[in-house]
Amino acid sequence: MPRLAVRPPIALALLVAVACASPTAPVADAPPPSARATTLLPGAAAPSGTPVVLVLDGDVLAPAVAPTFFSASDVNGDRARRDQRAVLRWFAANAGRTVELPSGVVGDEGFHAPTRAPAAWRLARPGRTAFRNLLDAAPGLGGGDDDTLLERLDAVRPLQATGLTMLRGATVCALVLADDVVTDHAAQVASLRGAASGVVAFEIVAVRTRDGAGAAALPWVTVRVRDAATTCSGTLALFCNPPAPRSATVIDDVVVRGAPVASVYRYAP
């Protein structure tokens, strides 16, 4: 596994996180027409249906892997790069279709939930929200082949069975990386650096235990493909309260049960 780089102290000073629960200033991005009558604040509760930002690593949409057997072209494997934000070809052509995806294994999870953003993400392109800058590959977030602001993030939670179950029914806008999200479970930090395959949108329809795939296998996730150009263009939300895995080796959250607590979604800064 690649080593996580240590960020110099000066750069660390820029990473004052904008938390899920801390409303501060109006969101810069224009909300969709149906929401324009409401003042949207980062950290304010987001209603059900607001697209949630996730990051998927390359194992979730890998080519030639059961049960989907995507081709490399289907998942933009032939044009992955740091600033790639095009919709994955198969998803662009199959809105409304339902497909089942793997979610990785304990210690190498495939679904990841950012729960807040470094202030530096907003500064990457002033006047826009942090997560709009991420999805548009602003400088330092993939743009210009520079992804230095995606290293050593302390608020990206790898999702195991409980976190995935809490997302049932949620609409998702996801950045898809071509390789693994590198997570240090003990320090609870992650790196999102590296080539990206693009963006996808979907609704999480069902989550089921992945029987017969090994003790550490995380659930299957059934998704209904949504039009990413529409879904990801408006106001976004963060999934604020996913549980953090205890370690990369403790196997205690792989079986799908009822979600123990309600999901908390707040407008993304």
Buried/exposed code over 94-128 (b: 16+ C-beta within 10 A; e: otherwise): ebeeebebbbbbbbbbbbbbbbbbbebbbebbeeb
Q: How many CB atoms lie within 10 A of CB 79?
A: 14
Full pLDDT tens readout for the chain, 269 residues: 444 443 333 333 333 344 575 443 333 333 333 333 334 566 799 988 999 999 999 999 999 988 899 999 999 999 999 999 999 999 999 999 999 999 999 999 999 999 998 999 999 999 999 999 999 999 999 999 999 999 999 999 999 999 999 999 999 999 999 999 999 998 889 999 999 999 999 999 999 999 988 999 999 999 999 999 999 999 999 999 999 998 999 999 999 998 778 999 999 98
pLDDT at 5: 43
Given this model, what pLDDT does residue 19 score? Answer: 52
| b/e code 231-258 from CB counts within 10 Å (16+ = b) | bbbbbbbbbbbbeebeebeebebbbbee
Q: How far apart are CA 245 and CA 257, in angstroms?
A: 16
Residue 31: per-residue pLDDT: 35
pLDDT of residue 58: 95
Per-residue tokens: 37: 């009558």
